[in-house]
Amino acid sequence: MAKISLGRRSSTLADSEWLMTDSQNDPLSAISNMLDIISLSLFVSGIALIIAAIIGVPLGAMLALRQVIFKKIIMLIIYTGMGLPPVVVGLVVYIFLSREGALGWLGWLFTPSAMITAQVIIALPLVVGLTASAVENVNPELRLQIRSLGATPNQAMWTILSEARAGVVAAIVAAFGGIISEVGAVMLVGGNIEGSTRVLTTAIVLETRKGDFGLALSLGGVLLTLTLITNFFLLNLNKRK
Amino acid sequence: MKSSSSKTVLVMGVILTVLSACATPTPAPTPVPPPQKMRLATTTSTADSGLLDNILPDFEKKFNAKVDTVAVGTGQAIELGVKGDVDVVLVHARSSEDKFVADGYGINRLDVMYNDFVLVGPKEDPAKVKDVAAAKDAFTAISKASATFVSRGDNSGTHTKEKSVWTAAQITPTKDMSWYLSIGQGMGETLLFSNEKKAYTLTDRGTWLAQQSKLPNLIIVVGGSTIAENKDKGLLNPYGVIPVNPAKHPGVNFDLATKFAQWITSAETQKKIGDYGKDKFGQALFYPSR
Amino acid sequence: MQRLYKTLTPLFQLSRIRHNYNGRFVLDIDDLTIQRGELFAIVGPSGAGKSTLLRLLNFLESASAGAIRYKEHPTPPLDLTRQITTVFQHPILLHRTVRENVDYGLRLRDQRDPKRVDEIIARVGLAAFAASAADSLSGGERQRIALARALILNPEVLLLDEPTANLDPHNVSLIESIIREENEQRGITIVLVTHNIFQAKRLAARVGLLLNGKLIEVGAAKEFFENPKDERTKKFVDGELIY
């Protein structure tokens, strides 16, 4: 669906630069751009968070509750993973997903799928590590007592997770904050393509580069507000249960 | 036990410091004042070309100066000048430069040099634009073929040039066109992206030459192999140097900035600019304005 | 009322149990049978291994050596082990309401019975707190919830580990009366661990003395207290063993 605009244009290039209609000057398309960016940010980080939570919370609980061989080494790896620079994760994902990479055939590079992948990897150590820590802080006697009430090891794990829910919610909140504010990895694997992989953080970098500090700050404000609202809901989940 | 040994260390430290202070250095023939600092804002592509690393030491020596180069996007470079965070601006976006001066933030603009843009694209050349003379005709063909085209999308000099070519071709690409990708990044990243996607993109020749070895999937399709061979005069890219107006920002080093502008347009420096790149790339990256 | 068991049916059979814990040996029981429907008390000083024994009976742990058979099964499946439940000395409740704590065990078994839940809560005297947060209750009230959450499961075996050790007399007598009721009217087999000889005297039909992991003497309550066979039992009953 090509949009071709015919019209009189001045022949000299200098003048035509002046006459060039920039889509940013049109308020309606600016708003629609902004909405695209916001919804993509929420979509990418939301999906990544859900995947990381589904995998990471039970994993963290199992790590804390079961007799795992090499538990100390695994915890070391997880704690290191929590401090891993996100841009390094992005770089590795980029290498795997690029044309010559092992997973290049997936065709995910420069699509939201790649961004979600990178963000899941960034979020996972946070979710696993902080969940394990929260579960470890639950009274170990509890496990014995609920098992005596007939809980299977699986049922016991979910009950203990529920008791540790404050810490589990904190883990999820931390992970969300980490990935929605991340810029290096999503820039690398997403490409900041207008209309398909541009999110709030990469848009902020772009507007700053363009010298439009005012717009960059507004985008930053939107990002903060989104995080605030999301955390409000997440923390309420804690109370309602 | 512990406190007495740390006391010893403290005393030794004090003695050593006093001794070294007393030691008289070999007296210099004349006292040299510390170098003056000058902050220069320029674009990432200019910095990436390596030209400044090559010629600035000469300026620093001649004028006992230390130049801090801030390389950012064109828009941001101008903005730094508007804010007075730098003393002088060196960019290649004529309309933005003119506005910068017209608004009173810059003063005494001088032409420095020019290089050119080339259209690069995949070896397979799906839009069949190789060796087309005019960029606008190539752009038209790319649009008709819906071949993937990558735009810097960041209001940089390159982006501004790209937009002017689309205008000349009477086409307005938008993000809704799936073949047109606006990625809002610097020239280096844009080239790597285009290499990965096997897409067309407009680039300045300097960055292309510097990055070529990392871009195995791309070749120059419009613009020839040297500036001289570039049949499209519209692809020429002039650079301007503009000192920041001290009337707007009294704290800027206007004196040194003016000296810089004069030095970079002096015959000697202009010759150096014209020679840069010949040994490394077999051709000059820039043509001096004089 | 009437004893519901007429013949002696062994419910638990322990043979040659040797149990280690963190390298320490804690239990050494050659032979012990617990009959269906009896109220059996295990007494002895602290650290004698009584709690460990209860954990083994509830199949929460496996003995390092030896076998425990429940209804002839050395490794009973889930539906059988779910017939046994324990009330601990320090109950740990969930951060939920009293009601949710009591019906927790039912939900584990995919069952619902809100009417019975409220009945049991009333029976332990906590009807007024049914909707309150369990965390807000006192020690005695928490123990009553622990009892309620165990009883609602209709267990065949109720194991009690010092259930009234930290409670005031009112709570002690309330819990003891419920224990007695469950045993006499419903025929629940009860194993009660206590260091309170008087409680054992009040409730038990049979008593065993556990000392340093070994069962010194097991006998009918009357004989145990009035005419013990072992010298150490006599000392314990007379209150001479200091712990």
- Residue B110 shares a structural domain with residue B246: yes
What tokens appear for B196 in the block?
């990965």
Q: Is C142 on the interface with A (CB under 8 A)?
A: no
Domain boundary among B217, B235, B253: B235
Question: What residue in A sits closest to C57 (Cα-Cα)?
Answer: A148
Q: Is the pTM of this model over 0.90?
A: no
Domain assignment present for B194 = yes
pLDDT category of residue B42 using cuts at 50, 70 and 90: very high
C60 → closest Cβ in A148, A159, A163: A148
What tokens appear for A111 in the block?
């699509």
Q: Which residues of A touch C82 (CB under 8 A)?
A: 150
Q: Measure in Å the smallest separation between the Cα of A99 and chain B Cα atoms.
A: 7
End-to-end CA distance of chain B: 75
In angstroms, the CA C21 to CA B223 distance is: 83
The more confident residue out of B94 and B106 is: B106
Domain assignment present for B65 = yes
Domain assignment present for C162 = no
The more confident residue out of A159 and A236 is: A159
Can you list the pairs that C20-27 forms with residues at least 24 positions away whose Cβ atoms lie under 8 Å?
C20/C64, C21/C52, C25/C213, C26/C52, C26/C213, C27/C52, C27/C53, C27/C56, C27/C63, C27/C213
- Residue B122 shares a structural domain with residue B228: yes
Residue range of the domain that includes C239: 10-75+189-243
Contact B/A (≥3 CB pairs under 8 Å): yes
Q: Is B278 helix (H, G, I), strand (E, B) or coil?
A: helix
Question: What residue in A sits closest to B80 (Cα-Cα)?
Answer: A211
- Residue B209 shares a structural domain with residue B244: no
A150 → closest Cβ in C85, C90, C91: C85
Whether A119 and A163 have beta carbons less than 8 Å apart is answered as: no
pLDDT category of residue B259 using cuts at 50, 70 and 90: very high
Measured in whole angstroms, the distance separating CA A175 from the mean position of its chain's CA atoms is 8
Domain count of chain B? Answer: 2
Whether A205 and A149 have beta carbons less than 8 Å apart is answered as: no
Q: Provide the number of CB pairs (under 8 Å) joining chain A to chain B.
A: 107
Which of C202, C119, C122, C194 is CA-nearest to residue C154?
C119
- Output the average pLDDT for chain C: 90
Q: Is A145 on the interface with C (CB under 8 A)?
A: yes
Q: Is C21 on the interface with A (CB under 8 A)?
A: no
The more confident residue out of A29 and A88 is: A88
pLDDT category of residue A8 using cuts at 50, 70 and 90: very low
- Residue B67 shares a structural domain with residue B177: no
Domains and CATH numbers, chain A: 31-240 (1.10.3720.10)
Whether A171 and A130 have beta carbons less than 8 Å apart is answered as: yes
Domain assignment present for B224 = yes
- Residue B109 shares a structural domain with residue B242: yes
The more confident residue out of C205 and A22 is: C205
B196 → closest Cβ in A98, A194, A208: A98
Q: Which residues of B touch A213 (CB under 8 A)?
A: 79
Q: Is B78 on the interface with A (CB under 8 A)?
A: yes
pLDDT category of residue B73 using cuts at 50, 70 and 90: confident
Domain boundary among B235, B261, B276: B235
- Residue B126 shares a structural domain with residue B268: no
- Residue B96 shares a structural domain with residue B132: no
Domain assignment present for C58 = yes
Interface test with A, best of B136, B183, B187 (most A CBs within 10 A): B183
Burial class (CB in 10 A: 0-12, 13-18, 19+), B190: buried
Residue range of the domain that includes B70: 36-114+238-288
Q: Which residues of B touch A110 (CB under 8 A)?
A: 193, 196-197
Q: Report the length, in residues, of chain B.
A: 290
**Which residues, 6+ apart, have CB-to-CB distance to B4 below 8 Å?**
none
Domain assignment present for C233 = yes
Q: To which residue do tokens 């999308």 refer?
A: B153
Neighbours of chain C (3+ CB pairs under 8 A): A
DSSP state of B85: S
Is the pLDDT reported for residue B31 higher than 80? no
A210 → closest Cβ in B143, B155, B234: B155
Domain assignment present for B46 = yes
- Residue B251 shares a structural domain with residue B108: yes
DSSP labels for C34-93? EETT-EEEEE--TTSSHHHHHHHHTTSS--SEEEEEETTBSS--HHHHTTEEEE-SS---
Q: Report the length, in residues, of chain C.
A: 243
Interface test with C, best of A67, A138, A145, A238 (most C CBs within 10 A): A145
The more confident residue out of A155 and C9 is: A155
Interface test with C, best of A67, A142, A149 (most C CBs within 10 A): A149
Which of A71, A69, A173, A72 is CA-nearest to residue A130?
A173
**B136-146: pLDDT as tens digits:** 999 999 999 99
A192/B95 Cβ within 8 A: no
Number of helices (H) and strands (E) in chain B: give both, helices first. Answer: 12, 10
pLDDT category of residue B75 using cuts at 50, 70 and 90: confident
Domain boundary among B216, B235, B254: B235
- Per-residue confidence (pLDDT) for residue A197, from 0 to 100: 93
| Mean pLDDT computed over B42-55 | 87
Domain assignment present for B99 = yes
Interface test with B, best of A210, A212, A217, A219 (most B CBs within 10 A): A210
**B225-243: pLDDT as tens digits:** 888 888 888 898 889 999 9
Domain count of chain C? Answer: 1
- Output the average pLDDT for chain A: 85
Is the pLDDT reported for residue C80 higher than 50? yes
- Residue B154 shares a structural domain with residue B182: yes
**C173-218: pLDDT as tens digits:** 999 999 999 999 999 999 999 988 899 999 999 999 998 889 989 9
C60 → closest Cβ in A139, A147, A159: A147
- Residue B231 shares a structural domain with residue B120: yes
Q: What CATH number has the domain bearing residue C26?
A: 3.40.50.300
A99/B196 Cβ within 8 A: yes
Q: Measure in Å the smallest separation between the Cα of B263 and chain A Cα atoms.
A: 27
- Per-residue confidence (pLDDT) for residue B27, from 0 to 100: 58
A3 → closest Cβ in B73, B174, B182: B174
Q: Is B192 on the interface with A (CB under 8 A)?
A: no
Interface test with A, best of B70, B146, B175 (most A CBs within 10 A): B175
C19-49 burial, b for 16+ CB within 10 Å, e for fewer? beeeeeebbbbeebbbbbbbbbbbbbeeebb
Q: Which residues of C touch A152 (CB under 8 A)?
A: 78, 108
- Residue B67 shares a structural domain with residue B133: no
Q: Which residues of A touch B75 (CB under 8 A)?
A: 209-212
A152 → closest Cβ in C78, C86, C104: C78
Domain assignment present for C124 = no
Is the pLDDT reported for residue A58 higher than 70? yes
Domain assignment present for B19 = no
Is the pLDDT reported for residue C93 higher than 70? yes
Q: Measure in Å the smallest separation between the Cα of B154 and chain A Cα atoms.
A: 6
In angstroms, the CA B228 to CA B224 distance is: 8
Q: Is B222 left (phi over 0), alpha (psi -120 to 50) or beta?
A: beta
- Residue B143 shares a structural domain with residue B96: no
Domain assignment present for B157 = yes
Measured in whole angstroms, the distance separating CA B146 from the mean position of its chain's CA atoms is 31
- Per-residue confidence (pLDDT) for residue A5, from 0 to 100: 29
Domain assignment present for B7 = no
pLDDT category of residue A25 using cuts at 50, 70 and 90: low
Q: Which residues of C touch A145 (CB under 8 A)?
A: 86, 88, 91-92
